[in-house]
């Protein structure tokens, strides 16, 4: 009997020890998260050779290496965290007041270092050797590249994730998606699609946008057919190529508009004879930022004026 009682006592003690250990483990697991080192958030960027970039903390000092990136950052409410921008960054107007770090192709590395940033937001406009140079100086560089409208929405969400502005990014991309659908709902099943030629520049040679570019997608979603759809990316083309495809609509950058409407070379085209040569704000259609949706609305008006009225400024 005594042995039986001792056995019960021993088992009770063991169960008590297990219960106490469970309580200790539970309390330990509830230790405030700030006492636990945060795990780094690592994301692959869109550089020519995608890099895994890690962020231990939310960036507080940001440098933009492209006008489109600057527009994204300000649209997400991060203007106060933007320390430096390129010489080309002119929108919104607050961007003009930021420290200038040179052009997208030739940024001043010394100025960038002096700004002590914890995030440099790059784009495909920046030479990759610049990115590797900055990375070699132990700076955090993250590159984004937009090929189409929905890729742009993903880029904005990614920037929101990196900068802890997911809510703002979600609201912005939802608004943009609504704008895109307002156009595509009207153009998706159009049977008649006029032939469209977009001119990026004409000197010293003629340049356009082919498939795999967001400008090509603007044409397609706006209800047109890009005469250069068989060309990949941004490319130099011959006048003979354009004349052989006889565009019904020509849309140009502001630098090429006067040439296009006065060119004897284009006079034989359907677009010239029907006076359907238009100029579109370069910054709306050549910068992959939030205003690209406005560019889509203008393209839709130029290409399908019977359906789309002129957008409000």
Residue 17, pLDDT score = 47
Helix (H), strand (E) at residue 141: strand 141-144
CA dist 115 → 103, 106, 108 (Å): 16, 17, 11
* Intrachain domains 41-145 and 191-303 with the same fold: yes
What is the second-level CATH architecture of the domain 41-145? 3-Layer(aba) Sandwich (3.40)
Residue 1, pLDDT score = 44
Q: How far apart are CA 114 and CA 111, in angstroms?
A: 5
Residue 286, pLDDT score = 95
Cross-strand partners of 208: 235
Residue 40, pLDDT score = 57
pLDDT (tens place) for every residue of the chain, 313 residues total: 444 444 444 444 444 444 444 444 444 444 444 444 454 589 999 988 888 999 989 999 999 999 999 999 999 999 999 999 999 999 999 999 999 999 999 999 999 999 999 999 999 989 999 999 999 999 999 999 999 999 999 999 999 999 999 999 999 999 999 999 999 999 999 999 999 999 999 999 999 999 999 999 999 999 999 999 999 999 999 999 999 999 999 999 999 999 999 999 999 999 999 999 999 999 999 999 999 999 999 999 999 999 999 998 7
CATH code for the part of the protein at 191-303: 3.40.50.1980
Per-domain residue ranges of the chain: 41-145, 191-303
Q: Cβ(228)–Cβ(206) under 8 Å?
A: no
Residue 6, pLDDT score = 46
Both tokens of residue 179?
């704008």
Both tokens of residue 64?
């933009």
Q: How far apart are CA 107 and CA 86, in angstroms?
A: 7
Q: Cβ(292)–Cβ(285) under 8 Å?
A: yes
């Amino acid at each position: 009997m005594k042995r039986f009682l001792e056995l019960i006592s021993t088992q009770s003690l063991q169960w008590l020890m297990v219960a106490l250990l469970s309580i200790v483990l539970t309390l330990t697991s509830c230790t405030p998260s700030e006492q636990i080192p945060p795990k780094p958030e690592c994301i692959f960027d869109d550089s020519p050779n995608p890099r895994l970039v890690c962020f231990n903390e939310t960036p507080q000092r940001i440098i933009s290496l492209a006008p489109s990136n600057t527009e994204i950052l300000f649209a997400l409410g991060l203007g106060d965290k933007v320390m430096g921008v390129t010489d080309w960054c002119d929108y919104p107007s607050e961007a003009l007041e930021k420290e200038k770090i040179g052009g997208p192709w030739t940024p001043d590395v010394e100025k960038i270092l002096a700004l002590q940033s914890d995030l440099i937001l790059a784009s495909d406009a920046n030479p990759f050797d610049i990115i590797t140079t900055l990375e070699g100086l132990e700076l955090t560089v993250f590159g984004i590249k937009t090929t189409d409208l929905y890729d742009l929405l993903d880029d904005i969400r990614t920037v929101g994730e990196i900068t802890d502005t997911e809510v703002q990014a979600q609201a912005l991309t939802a608004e943009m998606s609504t704008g895109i659908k307002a156009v595509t709902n009207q153009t998706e099943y159009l049977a008649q699609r006029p032939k469209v030629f977009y001119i990026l520049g004409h000197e010293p040679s003629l340049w356009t946008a082919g498939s795999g570019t967001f400008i090509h997608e603007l044409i397609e979603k706006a209800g047109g057919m890009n005469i250069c759809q068989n060309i990949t990316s941004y490319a130099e083309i011959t006048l003979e190529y354009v004349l052989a495809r006889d565009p019904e609509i020509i849309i140009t950058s502001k630098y090429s508009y006067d040439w296009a409407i006065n060119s004897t070379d284009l006079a034989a085209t359907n677009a010239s004879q029907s006076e359907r040569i238009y100029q579109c704000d370069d910054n709306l259609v050549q910068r992959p930022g939030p205003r690209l949706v406005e560019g889509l609305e203008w393209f839709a008006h130029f290409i399908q004026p019977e359906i789309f009225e002129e957008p409000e400024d």
